[in-house]
Copies of this chain bind each other. A is one copy, B any other.
Amino acid sequence: MLPRGRPRALGAAALLLLLAVGFFLFGGDLEYGRLRGAASLDGELTRDHNRSACLPLRSLLPKCELLHVAIVCAGYNSSRDVVTLVKSMLFYRKNPLHLHLVTDEVARNILETLFHTWMVPAVRVSFYNTSKFQSQVSWIPNTHYSGLYGLLKLVLPDALPPDLARVIVLDTDVTFASDIAELWAFFAHFSDKQMIGLVENQSNWYLGNLWKNHRPWPALGRGFNTGVILLWLDRLRQAGWEQMWKVTARRLLLTLSSTSLADQDIFNAVIKEHPGLVLLLPCLWNVQLSDHTLAERCYSEASDIKVIHWNSPKKLRVKNKDVEFFRNLHLTFLEYDGNLLRRELFGCPSQPPPQAEQRQRALAHLDEEDACFEFQQQRLTVHRVHLTFLPLDLLPSELHDVTLVAQLSVDRLQMLEALCSHWPGPMSLALYLTDAEAQQFLRFVEASKVLSARSNVAYHVVYREGPLYPVNHLRNVALAQARTSHVFLSDIDFLPAYSLYNYLRASIEQLDLSSQRKTALVVPAFESLHYHLSFPTSKAELLALLDAGSLHTFRYDVWPRGHTPTDYARWREAQAPYQVQWAADYEPYVVVPRECPRYDSRFVGFGWNKVAHIVELDAQEYEFLVLPEAFTIHMPHAPSLDISRFRSSPAYRDCLHALKDEFHQDLSRHYGAAALKYLTALQRSRSST
C-alpha cells in the first residue's frame, strides 16, 4: 500500500494520513498500469466524488519547503500570459517558490523588470537564456504554433542548474485553481524508476482516428499532455535523457516529416518506448480545454478542478460545455490586483530583497499624522511595471531619430488614435492602470484599426497604487525605454503638428545635434478650447487661427509664466532657431538627447513636476533653442481628479510647497552657487503670489 518513494521521517500521524490518502486516491497501487483506474479518462474512480475533496497532500511536505517551477516564455504575448498564470499560482500557494524562467530577450526584459518591481515575498526568480539552448532543438521540424519554444522543454534537465533535483514545468497557458504544493506532493509518489509525472492527453489525437490519413506520433493510448509536467531532473540526467529523446526523435523523423505538437510528440514517443518512466497524475491537474476535449469525463464537479489548460490556439474563445466557468476562473486572475499578492508568507520566514527592507524601514519612520504623509508614502511606493505590454517592432534606429514620450491613465485612452495620426514616428508611453484596466486597454487597442496597425508604439504599464498620480515616475519609465538618439517630452493631451516628426529629425540633422550636445529644442505650445478644431496644417494656418481667437498660447490666462520665455512674438516672425533663457516656472515641451536628466519622481499628483525638470536641464547648462516651424496644441479635456484635489485643498498646496523647498536644497547641494538663481526666483515668485 505504501508508495515506493523515500518515506523519510514522517510522524505517526502523517503516516496514518498517508495510508488514508494512498487508499483513497490510488486504490492501493501507484504503478502505471493500475493507476490508470484512478487517473485516466476511462477510469472508474473518476466518478467517486469524495476522492477529490480536499486531500491532505500538503501534509506530506515539510513545512515551508521551497518549490521549484520552470516556465519557457518568449515574446510579448506569452509574457502577458505568464503573469496571469503566476498570479493564480501565488494566490493559492502557501510555500516559498523559486521560478526558473527560460526566456528570449524580449520576455527577459519584461519579466525581470516585472518581478523586480513586484517584490513578492518568498518568491525567487532565475532567468535562463533560450538562445544558449536553441541549437539543441532547432534541427527538429515542427509545425506547432508554439514554434521553437515549445520544444525547449526537452532540454530543461540540461538547462537548469545541475543541483536542481526536481521541478514542476508549466505551459504559459495554464491557470491554477488550487495550491501548487498539492501537485508538488506527487513527487513523493514516484517509484525509484519514475522520473516524469504527467496527465493523460484529453483528446483522441494520438489514437490517430481523428481524420483520414491522420498520422500522429506514437504514444501510449491517448498519450500524455505536457502542459503540466513533474520532472525529476537528476534521475533524468543520470538516465541519459538527452541521448534518449534525441535518438527517438531522429529515428521517427526518418518516417514522420515533423512534430505537430512540439515537445509533446517527443515526450510521448520516448514514453511509448520507456513506459516505466512515467507517473500518471490525476487528470484534474491538467484539465484541457481544447475544442473537442474529453475533459468532462475527468471532473464531475467544480470543486474537482485543480489546474486548467487553455491548450487550444483559440484560447478563451474555445467552445465547450463549461467554458463560462473556466473563463471566469481565468478572468479572476487576469484582472486580479497583483499588488495584493505582495502579502507575507508569515510562518515561512524569507529574506526580503534589500530594497524592500530599506523601504519598509523608511515607511515605518513616516508619521501618519503628518499632513504630507500621503506624499511621503507615495514617494516610497514601488510600482509594479510591465514594460512593452503589447508587441513592438522597432526599425533599427537611425542616427537622428526622435521618440515621443508621454504618460496617461485610462481616461485618456481616446487620445491615442489622434496622437497616432499626428505622429508617425516611434513613441514610448507609460500607462498608469489597474490590472483590470490593463485588460480594458488591450481590448481598446485590439478594436482600433489605427492602433493595431502601429508597431512602433511601446506601451509600458505601471500599475496603480496609492492615492497620488506618480506623474514623474511615469515619465521616467517611458523615457528609459526610448531607443532613439532623441526624445520629444510631450504630454498626452497635446497633438503635435502633422509635420513635427519629420521636421524634428531634419532639424536635429541640420543643427548637427549629437546626443552629447546639451541642447533642448523648444516646441512652442498652444491650446484649443474647442473640440472641433480644424487642426492647422502649417504655421501660417496656426497664426491665422491665433489671430481669429480660435487658438491661444498655452495657458495664457491661468499660468502665463509656464511658457512666456518661449517668446511667442519672436516665434511669429522667426525663420531660424533662436536661443531663449531660462526663467522661473518655465516648462516648455522640449526635444532632448535620450540621456537627458531624469524627472524628479518626488513630485506626485499635480504641480511643478515639469518645471523642476526644466530647472535641472538649465542647471546642467542645456541651451534652449526654439524651433521656428514647430508647434504642438493642447486639446480640451475635463480637469483630472488630481487637479480638482489640488485646487480645493490648501494642505495639498502646502505639501507641494515643502517639496519645492526640498528640491531646491538638493539643487544647492549639487550645483552650489550656480543654483542660487533658482532659489531667488522661487522666493520672488512666492512673494508675488
Is the pair B347, A328 in contact by a Cβ cutoff of 8 Å?
A: no
Is the pair A302, B344 in contact by a Cβ cutoff of 8 Å?
A: yes
Shortest CB–CB separation between residue A508 and chain B, in angstroms? 32
Is the pair A20, B23 in contact by a Cβ cutoff of 8 Å?
A: no
Shortest CB–CB separation between residue A378 and chain B, in angstroms? 15
Chain A, 1-42, CB within 8 A of any chain B CB: 11, 13-14, 16-17, 19-20, 23-24
Q: Is the interface of A mostly helix, strand, loop or mixed?
A: helix
Known A529-B529, A636-B636; contact A324-B303, beta-carbon cutoff 8 A: no
**Once bound together, how far apart are the Cα atoms of A340 and B325, in whole Å?**
9
**Once bound together, how far apart are the Cα atoms of A23 and B56, in whole Å?**
14
Chain A, 303-324, CB within 8 A of any chain B CB: 303-304, 322, 324
When distances are taken between beta carbons in the complex, the residues of chain B under 8 Å from A303 are 58, 94, 347
- Which residue from chain B places its CB closest to the CB of A493 in the assembled complex? B638
Q: Does chain B have a CB within 8 A of A362? A: no
Shortest CB–CB separation between residue A630 and chain B, in angstroms? 24
Chain A, 507-553, CB within 8 A of any chain B CB: 529-532
Shortest CB–CB separation between residue A340 and chain B, in angstroms? 5
Known A63-B49, A529-B636, A637-B637; contact A344-B324, beta-carbon cutoff 8 A: yes
Is the pair A345, B301 in contact by a Cβ cutoff of 8 Å?
A: yes
Of B443, B530, B558, the contact of A529 (CB 8 Å cutoff): B530
Chain A, 52-70, CB within 8 A of any chain B CB: 53-59, 63-64
Most buried by B among A335, A410, A417, A530: A335
When distances are taken between beta carbons in the complex, the residues of chain B under 8 Å from A340 are 328, 331-332
Known A24-B13, A58-B53, A337-B331; contact A345-B638, beta-carbon cutoff 8 A: no
Q: Does chain B have a CB within 8 A of A444? A: yes
Q: Does chain B have a CB within 8 A of A358? A: no
Shortest CB–CB separation between residue A605 and chain B, in angstroms? 13
**Once bound together, how far apart are the Cα atoms of A14 and B58, in whole Å?**
19
Chain copies in the assembled complex? 2
Of B24, B436, B648, the contact of A434 (CB 8 Å cutoff): B436
Is the pair B636, A531 in contact by a Cβ cutoff of 8 Å?
A: yes
Which one of A110-118, A251-259, A479-487, A639-647 is at the interface?
A639-647
**Once bound together, how far apart are the Cα atoms of A412 and B412, in whole Å?**
13
When distances are taken between beta carbons in the complex, the residues of chain B under 8 Å from A681 are none
**Once bound together, how far apart are the Cα atoms of A310 and B108, in whole Å?**
41
When distances are taken between beta carbons in the complex, the residues of chain B under 8 Å from A56 are 20, 53-56
Q: Does chain B have a CB within 8 A of A420? A: no
When distances are taken between beta carbons in the complex, the residues of chain B under 8 Å from A331 are 337, 340
Q: Does chain B have a CB within 8 A of A348? A: yes
Known A13-B20, A17-B20, A325-B344; contact A94-B638, beta-carbon cutoff 8 A: no
Q: Does chain B have a CB within 8 A of A126? A: no
Q: Does chain B have a CB within 8 A of A355? A: no
- Which residue from chain B places its CB closest to the CB of A330 in the assembled complex? B340
Is the pair B24, A17 in contact by a Cβ cutoff of 8 Å?
A: yes
Q: Does chain B have a CB within 8 A of A250? A: no
Is the pair B345, A302 in contact by a Cβ cutoff of 8 Å?
A: yes
Known A346-B322, A558-B532, A638-B638; contact A301-B63, beta-carbon cutoff 8 A: yes
Shortest CB–CB separation between residue A612 and chain B, in angstroms? 25
Most buried by B among A182, A346, A557, A558: A346
Interface residues of A (CB under 8 A from B): 11, 13-14, 16-17, 19-20, 23-24, 49-50, 53-59, 63-64, 94, 179, 182, 299-304, 322, 324-325, 328-329, 331-332, 335-337, 340-348, 410-415, 417, 434, 436, 443-444, 447-449, 467, 529-532, 557-558, 635-641, 644-645, 648
Can you pick out 25 interface pairs between chain A and chain B where the beta carbons lie within 8 Å of each other? A13-B50, A17-B20, A20-B20, A20-B56, A53-B56, A54-B55, A54-B58, A54-B182, A94-B303, A299-B347, A301-B345, A302-B347, A302-B348, A303-B347, A328-B341, A331-B340, A332-B336, A411-B411, A414-B644, A436-B436, A447-B645, A529-B530, A531-B636, A531-B639, A532-B558
